[in-house]
Amino acid sequence: MERDNLMHGARTALNQNSEMREWCENFLKEREKEIHPEMTAEEFEKHWRYHRPEIMHAGAAQAVQAYKVEKQKSN
């Protein structure tokens, strides 16, 4: 249940902050590229286009946490 609450809060934050959303999407996209190094750039872009919504949903909490850590480092 707590995981669902974290994910819901993260998704809400992403929907309200376009800068955070862009950063988190790039974070998750790069992580997904590391998982699929065998794909060509074209294959990966097709994969990302179709799987982005579920990847963004599942990784929202982790991405927002990484964003916050990164922002703390830069301040």
What total number of domains does the chain contain? 1
Contact 58, 23 (CB under 8 A): no
Query: Residues 29-59: pLDDT tens digits?
Result: 999 999 999 999 999 999 999 999 999 999 9
The residue among 16 and 4 whose pLDDT is bigger is 16
Question: Kindly report the CA angle at 12 between 17 and 44, in degrees rounded to 5?
Answer: 75
Check whether 1 has a pLDDT greater than 60.
Answer: no
Question: Among the listed ranges 3-7, 40-44, 59-63, which one has the minimum average pLDDT value?
Answer: 3-7
Instruction: Give me 27's structure tokens.
Output: 């974070």
How many other CB atoms sit within 10 Å of the CB of residue 17? 14
Q: Which helix (H) or strand (E) holds 36?
A: none
The domain in which residue 39 lies consists of 2-74
